[in-house]
Structure 1
């Protein structure tokens, strides 16, 4: 059931374990009410993909995910013909059917292999899904042209078969880490939102919601350290996903509070580039932790 207000949207997302700022809750509410695709940009690890999962749970719909990559084409994204099966059919039909009849049969639905975009438009069980087109910026620019018809009219044109329209439009989310600029033609068909790193209060709320057993002091120190790292000139800043993964790692180590040795030895959970890790190991980790504790506890 779709939420009937922005507040209800925020509450419903929180029930799925997703703490959204009000601006994001507003654009999600509008996407649901207006039936428009939602385009999310932001740094990796800020919760773009997780939002699609939360919405699928909120709406009780299946989630179909198209992970984009360089070289992605229509055959992998939307549909392709089962050529092997068609060849078998041609051999079996030799001398039994006219060429026209055989051609019509070969390009019928039973020879069509549905990929994520077609599955979203024409779901096997009839339930309109949540369609996540993830990391669109990783795909080649020409691929974006394939999406325009789907984003505008929720349909796909298959030359041999005709136009397939959605009986009920899917909820479409597109994400980008902005490694390149996505074309305006795609953005114009969507509602847009930039998803930034959470502030300390929201990150702490998310951490407590996802890991309810974590000690309060440890949770505060974790968030303070991550927030401090995001203020540094690192090659790749840790996202919310890394905050949660680091917190789980610390719980596995039975940590009650942070100490310099634990921080140094677990930096590889937070940071993914050796230059960043090397910069913070040893005395730098101790200084960072001391500074964070002074700010958090007032001395």
Structure 2
């Protein structure tokens, strides 16, 4: 069993399912409601645990009902959350997520800007014993410190290169493997075309790069060669948490010694299965479900 440490954002997701996304003001009625652990690093850790490995989430939450719910939820689902810092006077980040019958969503997020960015408290003994360290870009100070420390120790590093309100190039370049969202890649590469953007991000970072592109599947650079993997054909119900599930599963693939293409196929399958179940992170598949799915496609 590999140890995979995920450093970054955790937040509460409050999810409402509707027939159609609201297009203006008014009162709307949900057909389903759920609350679940969210946030890129936290959901990636849940995916790692679901794939049967030792998962750690390290991040900052408010010492409030949301923060305590997050810790309890992560722990109940097999993630070690003992190094989460619950901060007095800080509100746990929250998102209101409205999902329609086609799986499309609208997200309204609140983030408390008052929390200190300090990362000096990170548990270096825990990080130093990891097989893979995965960071997101939503806590840059924590991600930078964790990635720099892990690389000094020779530990494999991965970063979720999602969108952020700053230039993420320097941060993502600290990781061995960068898995971008389309928007995150455009922030670094500056190109609209998928292949052009992938090549631009590889040049800007000097690292192995991939882009997850939803309906367009995923693509990556194999040296100077552009490679593409189409998405799995599934009945999509809810895409919330799919990208984060992909990142956690990709870290698992690396920890297990899979080749790049095998790890990407494994990650794509995990993310696809997540999309077939409503409820955000509560829909992350088990390892058995992923293996069975891959055995039939």
Mark yes or no: TM-score above 0.5. no
Using the size of structure 2 for normalisation, the TM-score is 0.26
Using the size of structure 1 for normalisation, the TM-score is 0.26
Instruction: Kindly name which structure, 1 or 2, has the bigger radius of gyration based on alpha carbons.
Output: 1
The answer to which structure has the higher helix fraction is 1
Q: Which structure would you say has the larger RCO, counting Cα contacts within 8 Å and 6 or more residues apart?
A: 1
The answer to which structure has the higher strand fraction is 2
